[in-house]
């Protein structure tokens, strides 16, 4: 099996891996707080494409009392005590596209009946690969891209609040904003992956929904070295 630049093997179409995000809250910094089992669509030196099917069992962060994170006022959203819970992905599935070393991933959403809804640019730490998946840290700021190629910033209030409570210093915030501007340049030029026709892609109907492994929070070597 061919290898990647970081020494991990390429996954084959149909393989199940974990797409995870690490927490940035002070009390739980570096712990896995989002874990989504996904099916590999394509994995090359240039692109990792995965499918998160409807009904996928996931791990997500919640407030310590079990309430959804978005129910906490913005002023305390990132400082209130948290935990994680298991849940299933509701709604239509999501196709996620990520290029090695790029500080964002691009997600595609559909309405029922495969009516394409939009692209979503998730600004994040370049993903670290390990034997069973990839890990990243979310950078709060996002971009919505619509079928007519218009775009808009998302979650700018959360991006500002993360800086205010010390989850991101000024230098990192400037780097994230610069990454967002770079993504906007790709959108404006209608480069990859927006121009590649992924909105017409469909999953293999024989693919089963991946399971959530018991050791979903396993610590790989890249987090201990």
CB hemisphere CA count around 203 (13 angstroms): 24
Residue 224 maps to a domain: no
Residue 42 maps to a domain: yes
Q: Which domain holds residue 177?
A: 16-195
Residue 11 maps to a domain: no
Residue 216 maps to a domain: no
Residue 223 maps to a domain: no
CATH at 46: 2.40.380.10
Residue 6 maps to a domain: no
- Paired residues of 96 in beta bridges: 50, 107
**Which 8-state DSSP code applies to residue 26?**
G
Q: How many domains, in total, are found in the chain? A: 1
Residue 72 maps to a domain: yes
Structure tokens at 32: 């896995």
Say how far apart CA 31 and CA 218 lie, in whole Å.
10
Radius of gyration of the chain (CA): 17
Structure tokens at 26: 């002070």
Q: What is the pLDDT of residue 5?
A: 58
- The pTM of the whole model exceeds 0.85: yes
Q: pLDDT (tens digit, 0 to 9) for every residue of the chain, 225 residues total?
A: 455 656 678 999 999 999 999 998 777 778 999 999 999 999 999 999 999 999 999 999 999 999 999 999 999 999 999 999 999 999 899 999 999 999 999 999 999 999 999 999 999 999 999 999 999 999 999 999 999 999 999 999 999 999 999 999 999 999 999 999 999 999 999 999 999 999 999 999 999 999 999 999 998 866 665
Residue 160 maps to a domain: yes
């Amino acid at each position: 099996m061919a290898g990647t630049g970081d020494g991990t093997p390429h996954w084959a179409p149909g393989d199940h891996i974990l797409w995870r995000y690490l927490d940035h809250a002070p009390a739980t910094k570096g712990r896995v707080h989002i874990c989504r089992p996904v099916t590999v669509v394509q994995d090359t030196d240039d692109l990792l494409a995965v499918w998160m099917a409807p009904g996928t069992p996931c791990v997500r962060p919640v407030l310590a009392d079990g309430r959804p994170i978005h129910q906490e006022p913005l002023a305390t959203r990132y400082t209130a005590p948290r935990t994680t819970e298991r849940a299933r992905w509701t709604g239509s599935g999501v196709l996620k596209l990520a290029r090695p070393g790029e500080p964002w991933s691009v997600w595609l959403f559909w309405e029922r009946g495969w009516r394409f809804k939009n692209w979503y640019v998730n600004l994040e730490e370049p993903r670290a690969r390990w034997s069973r998946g990839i890990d990243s840290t979310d950078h709060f700021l996002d971009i919505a891209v619509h079928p007519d190629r218009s775009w808009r910033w998302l979650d700018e209030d959360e991006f500002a609040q993360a800086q205010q409570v010390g989850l991101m210093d000024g230098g990192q915030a400037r780097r994230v904003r610069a990454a967002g501007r770079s993504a906007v340049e790709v959108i404006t030029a209608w480069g990859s992956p927006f121009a590649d026709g992924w909105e017409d892609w469909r999953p293999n109907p024989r693919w089963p929904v991946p399971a959530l492994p018991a050791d979903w929070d396993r610590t790989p070597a890249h987090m201990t070295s």
